[in-house]
Amino acid sequence: MKRRDFIAMLGGTIAAWPVSAHAQQGEHMRRIGVLMGYKETDPEVNAILSEFTQGLAGLGWTNGRNLRIDVRWAAGGSARAKAFARELLSMTPDVVLAVGGPAPVVALRDETHTLPIVFARVSDPVGQGLVASLARPGGNVTGFSNFEPEMAGKWLETLEAIAPHIIRVVVIGNPETSVLDVFFRSIVAASGSLTVETVRTPIQNVDDIKRAIAAAGDKPGGGLIVVPDAFNSSNRAAIIAQASQYRVPAIYPFRIYPSEGGLVSYGIESKEQLRGAASYVDRILNGEKPAELPVQMPTTFDLVINLKTAKALGLTVPPTLLAIADQVIE
């Protein structure tokens, strides 16, 4: 069986993990809820979820012996996230993990101010009001943030370096599942020194994706920035395909995009965040409080370039950019 198929199968079965009949007698069973802002069929997301469960196993939490995990998949926006948040909380978990943008975290926080919530792959948690500060979250929510708002300026600079002819950049994200406005403000601030026009384009379905990218490619000099967003991740195949069709240079927040045909990405390795989330869940299960666990920010970022896509777009990647790339896909 291929590794990707195995991971997808593993992720699909976590939601229905039974409590083993072989649980050690007298062992206290703890319960974890997981609210994913993605599609259950996404192998990339199942892979990072597998990192979380493996991280827990390495800390002594074994399914069927002392742990049960219930997973719900909330791709589709805030209404779906709210419904699944209520369902998970009705199971009285000891702690809940929320992954994939603000929607899962907000849905859980709106339902409880006491149950511990650990998040991962969430941008600007202070600006969104999820925590009081990074050092002292102050409530029942803490976790691992993937991008600070200022990161958006780096995406624009990198895109301009690989496609210096761009004069207009379309920025896409779903306002329900991302902090589109936060990133857009940073892109606007960075665009002044590059004399690039910036266009904020909210998207909520595949037709919106097609219209936005078609508009970016309608005239010469168009470019695309795809913000970190559970909706964007779930629809990355459509985004990559449209960018290719309209010959629009695009930069993405995660390496999965260039791995699947996108031009370039600059961002974090999500698996590390899920391993970190496992450590926080372990600490909470052992008595620590979310208010006392500082929000962790990433310390390393990967630059990944797909040379095949660059050539198809007629772009020559500068040697200086290739020299600092963490991965070059030929």
Domain coordinates in residue numbering, the chain: 3-146+269-292, 151-267+302-329
Phi and psi torsions of 273, nearest 5°:
-65, -40
Between CA 98 and CA 61 the distance in angstroms is 19
Does 3.40.50.2300 match the CATH number of domain 3-146+269-292? yes
Q: Provide block-wise average pLDDT over 10 residues at a time, the chain (330 residues).
A: 40 42 58 95 93 96 90 89 96 97 94 97 93 96 93 94 96 92 93 87 96 95 96 96 98 97 94 95 97 94 97 96 96
Same fold, 3-146+269-292 and 151-267+302-329: yes
What local confidence, expressed as pLDDT, does residue 11 receive?
Answer: 43
Give me the residue label for tokens 């209404």.
79
pTM: 0.88
What local confidence, expressed as pLDDT, does residue 183 receive?
Answer: 94
3-state secondary structure 101-166: CHHHHHHHHHHCCCCCEEEEEECCCCCCCCCCCCCCCCCCEEEEECCCCCHHHHHHHHHHHHCCCC
Alpha helices in the chain (DSSP H): 3-14, 43-58, 78-89, 102-111, 151-162, 180-191, 206-216, 230-234, 236-245, 256-259, 270-285, 307-312, 319-324
What local confidence, expressed as pLDDT, does residue 27 receive?
Answer: 59
- The predicted-structure confidence for 235-273, as pLDDT tens digits, reads as follows 999 999 999 999 999 999 999 999 999 999 999 988 899
- The predicted-structure confidence for 192-231, as pLDDT tens digits, reads as follows 777 899 999 999 999 999 999 999 999 999 999 999 999 9
What local confidence, expressed as pLDDT, does residue 20 receive?
Answer: 39
Q: β-strand 250-252 against 222-226: which pairing, if any?
A: parallel
Q: How many CB atoms lie within 10 A of CB 237?
A: 12
What local confidence, expressed as pLDDT, does residue 193 receive?
Answer: 74
3-state secondary structure 161-175: HHCCCCCEEEEEECC
Q: Are 274 and 146 in contact (CB under 8 A)?
A: no
Q: Are 265 and 236 in contact (CB under 8 A)?
A: no
Domain 151-267+302-329 fold is Rossmann fold (3.40.50)
What local confidence, expressed as pLDDT, does residue 76 receive?
Answer: 75
- Nearest alpha-carbon partner for 255 in 223, 300, 204: 300
Provide the residue type at 295 as one letter: V
